[in-house]
Amino acid sequence: MAPPEPAPSTVSANGEVGTKRDLLELSGVQAGYGRKHVVFDVDLHVGHGEIVTIVGHNGAGKTTTLKTVFGMLRPLGGHIVYDGDDVARSSCRRNVLRGMSYIPAERFVFGDLNVIDNLRLGGMHNKDSKARDERLAMVYEMFPILKERSEQKARTMSGGQQRMLSLGLAMMSRPRLLLLDEPSLGLAPALVGEIFEGVRRLADEDGLSVLLLEQNVGQALRIADRAYVMRSGRIILEETAEQMQRRPDYWDLF
């Protein structure tokens, strides 16, 4: 897979520079908690319909980066350009309305609600009932188990089923950018493969852009277009998924 050709620049109303290809662009982003810096000068980009993975060990700063993009943390420096506008100081709510969706590694569904109510919550901001019904049909077609268990309380489902529900919940809002943290955490390999195939399908058929955090490097590279390696809060390498798959191992990177 050849590296992408440079895209023409665009300038937003607030003067930030992006590209026609990139939906998300981070430039010199620094982030942390209070006075503690965790992420340092991160540059990365995600194109329309592209799956980009960040891999690295626990504590490398991956989740902090994702939370900063989504608006859960204010960056300590740098720019976060989404769809041509700098959203570094935007709230989570505003980012959701702009088309972002975030699925954390844990506590990713409403456990006391049944499946259908979880999904309805995901689509509640869409006032078009026909569009909501169409979206629900798409989610059920992708994950038939959710239709079968539509009246079941989310907390009584298996970990894999809850992860499928979390994806369905996110997709009900018809996001343009999905921020996905450790989808394979605690799941059996067969379920991991099914969930990852669903993510790849959404990118291919729905034009969804995905920023994926994953410690299971092999699984991530099977669906990703590009990969970044993060170590100690810094991006140390960017390669296409194909280039990284050709490496004999990844341990020297971590």
Q: Is 90 exceeded by the pLDDT of residue 235?
A: yes
Q: Is 50 exceeded by the pLDDT of residue 97?
A: yes
Give 243: exposed, middle or buried? Use CB within 10 Å, 0-12, 13-18, 19+: middle
Rounded mean pLDDT, 9-31:
66
Q: What is the pLDDT of residue 251?
A: 67
Q: Is 50 exceeded by the pLDDT of residue 253?
A: yes
Strands (E), 20-133: 22-33, 36-47, 51-55, 77-82, 85-86, 100-103
- Residues 21-76 have pLDDT tens digits of 699 999 999 999 988 999 999 999 999 999 999 999 889 999 999 999 999 999 99
Q: What is the pLDDT of residue 20?
A: 53
Q: Which of 254, 213, 218 is nearest to 46 (CA)?
A: 213
Q: For the ranges 168-172, 182-186, 198-202, 213-217, which has the lowest average pLDDT?
A: 182-186
Q: Domains of the chain by range and CATH?
A: 16-99+175-253 (3.40.50.300), 109-173 (no CATH)
Q: How confident is the model at residue 223 (pLDDT cuts 50, 70, 90)?
A: very high
Q: Which of 244, 236, 202 is nearest to 220 (CA)?
A: 244
Is the separation of the CB atoms in 250 and 215 below 8 Å? no
Q: What is the pLDDT of residue 187?
A: 80
Q: How confident is the model at residue 17 (pLDDT cuts 50, 70, 90)?
A: very low
Distance CA 153, CA 233 (A): 38
Q: What is the pLDDT of residue 60?
A: 93
**184 vs 21, more confident:** 184
Q: Give the strand pairing for 177-181 and 209-213.
A: parallel
Q: What is the pLDDT of residue 12?
A: 34
Q: What is the mean pLDDT of the chain?
A: 87
- Residues 122-177 have pLDDT tens digits of 888 777 788 889 989 989 998 899 999 999 999 999 888 898 899 899 889 889 99
How many contiguous H segments (helices) and E segments (strands) does the chain have? 9, 12
Rounded mean pLDDT, 164-192:
88
